[in-house]
Every structure is written in C-alpha cells, then in structure tokens.
C-alpha cells in the first residue's frame, strides 16, 4: 500500500499517488505538475462518466486491464536497451548486409522498360516506344519528371511498361544484365538519358540520378546502427516471452468448443 506521504492530490477523496505521476513522466509528460494535472483530469472525467451511467463495471475493468497490460509491456520495452541485443545477432546482420556498408562507388538510376514477350509488345514496337520515351525524357531532369512523362505516354498509347527507381549499384553488379549496367554507367551525369537498348525483359531507357561515394564502414562502426535496428524485434521477443511464461504459470485454457460456437 502507498502511504499518505506518497499522495500528491485528492479528487473527491480519491488519492493520486506520486508513483502514478512518475508513470506519466515515463510516458512523456514533461513535469510532475503536468502529470498530476493529467491524472486529476482523468479522475474527474472518469467520475463524470460513471455519473452519466457510462461506466459499467465490466467496461471499466476491461479498460483498466488493457491499460495495465500496455503499461507493463511499455516498461518491458524501456528496460530493454541496445546493450541487450545479442552480439552474434548483430554480427549476422552485418554479414548479410555487408554490401550496405562496404562497397565501391554507386550509381542511382530510374528506368522505364517496355515489356516484350508473351505479356508484352513485339520487339520492334517496343523499340519504337522506348525511343519515343528517350526523346520525351530528355526534356526532364529528375525522377518525378521522368516517371510522369513515361506514365503519360503509357496512358496515351496503351503500352505495357514498368517504371522503377533501383537501389544504387556498383559498376560490376551482377544482379542486373550486363547491357543494363553498361548503359547506366555510360551516361555522362545526373539527368542524363541513355539511348533505348534491349535486354531479355524488353526495351529500356535509363535516367541517371546521382553517383554515391564508396564506403568502408567496419563492423565496430556499424555495430551501434545495427543494434538500434534490431532493438524493436528484441523488445517484441521479450514481451512475447513474458506473455508465454505468464500463460504457462497461470494455466490458461481456451474453450475451443465454446469459442467456435460463438463465432457467427
């Protein structure tokens, strides 16, 4: 039980304790005074809701249970920090995402491809469409303008095409067709447009957006970044572990038969 020395306010005889105000501070309220004001307001509003008949005991208890559960999970989350992220998990993420941290110069592009094959156009028609795209795109100088012009041509002519902004890639990137990488790296500078060219997917036109510098970020330098990225999943796992333990200890049993009968 809290002692009277912990009481910071009384609302029609209902005490508000310092510990409640501290919880509000944890939730982002700036000062103890503001926290107490919020708690007083809540108590007054709750009392008025009950006076108006809007406070059935089962409703109130349900909301109280939800609030307590949310508070507990919030506390579990706050108590879990980047220091709790397993080092092996950080190393594994660094290994799988190493190209994100260690790479040569990168080029960022947007491109349009007029599709060929069974679901696309004949190669000659696609080539003609791509050449038209290259002419129109030469008059714009950013990704939004490129996409808008291409989409307008698609709508006007009923073409089957795709417009994509690709993740930055190196000169020797094997994820893309050699012809595509060559065309991208042959563009002189930002805003430049490639001639129409063909791959197995169709006829392409590329706009070069920017060049990004090489990077050589070590594991130690990337460790903090990765730990922050992993932290939400660690918090979620800890919360689930807590729930699972409480379920086991409480001996929860779900009446599947009754549950099924209650579903329309």
CA distances from 6 to 27, 42, 66, 71 (A): 20, 19, 25, 20
pLDDT of the residue at 2:
46
Between CA 138 and CA 131 the distance in angstroms is 11
pLDDT of the residue at 16:
84
Cβ neighbours around 153 below 10 Å, total? 18
DSSP state of 6: G
> Residue 75: pLDDT above 70?
yes
CA distances from 134 to 52, 154, 184, 241 (A): 69, 13, 14, 56
Phi, psi for 32 (deg, rounded to 5): -60, -40
Assign 158 to helix, strand or coil: coil
Domains, the chain, with CATH or none: 1-55 (no CATH), 61-103+218-264 (no CATH), 105-213 (3.10.50.40)
Answer yes or no: are the C-beta atoms of 206 and 194 closer than 8 Å. yes
Residues 22-44: tens digit of each pLDDT: 877 766 667 888 888 888 888 88
Residues 111-167: tens digit of each pLDDT: 999 999 888 999 999 999 999 999 999 999 899 999 999 999 999 999 999 999 999
Between CA 170 and CA 105 the distance in angstroms is 6
Answer yes or no: are the C-beta atoms of 133 and 196 closer than 8 Å. yes
Beta bridge partners of 198: 203
> Residue 61: pLDDT above 50?
yes
Answer yes or no: are the C-beta atoms of 134 and 194 closer than 8 Å. yes
Answer yes or no: are the C-beta atoms of 109 and 211 closer than 8 Å. no
Between CA 127 and CA 215 the distance in angstroms is 37
For residues 36-64, average pLDDT: 80
Terminus-to-terminus CA distance in the chain, angstroms?
45
């Amino acid at each position: 039980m809290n002692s009277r020395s912990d009481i910071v306010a009384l609302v029609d005889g209902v005490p508000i304790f310092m510990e409640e105000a501290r919880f509000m501070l944890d939730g982002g309220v700036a000062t103890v005074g503001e926290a107490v004001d919020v708690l007083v307001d809540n108590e007054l509003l709750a009392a008025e809701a009950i006076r108006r008949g809007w406070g059935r005991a089962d409703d109130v208890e349900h909301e109280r249970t939800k609030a307590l559960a949310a508070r507990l999970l919030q506390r579990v989350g706050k108590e879990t920090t980047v220091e709790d992220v397993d080092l092996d998990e950080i190393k594994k993420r660094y290994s799988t995402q190493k190209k994100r941290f260690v790479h040569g110069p990168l080029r960022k592009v947007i491109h349009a491809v007029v599709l060929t094959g069974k679901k696309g156009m004949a190669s000659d028609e696609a080539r003609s469409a791509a050449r038209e795209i290259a002419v129109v795109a030469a008059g714009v100088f950013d990704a939004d303008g490129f996409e808008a012009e291409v989409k307008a041509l698609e709508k006007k002519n009923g073409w089957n095409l795709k417009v994509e902004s690709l993740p930055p890639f190196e000169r020797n990137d094997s994820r893309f067709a050699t012809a595509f990488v060559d065309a991208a790296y042959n563009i002189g500078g930002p805003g430049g447009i490639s001639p129409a060219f063909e791959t197995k997917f169709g006829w392409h036109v590329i706009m070069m957006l920017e060049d990004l510098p090489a990077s050589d970020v070590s594991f130690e330098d990337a460790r903090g970044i990765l730990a922050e990225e992993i932290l939400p999943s660690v918090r979620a796992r800890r919360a689930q572990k807590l729930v699972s333990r409480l379920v086991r200890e409480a001996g929860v049993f779900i009446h599947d038969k009754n549950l099924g009968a209650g579903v329309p």
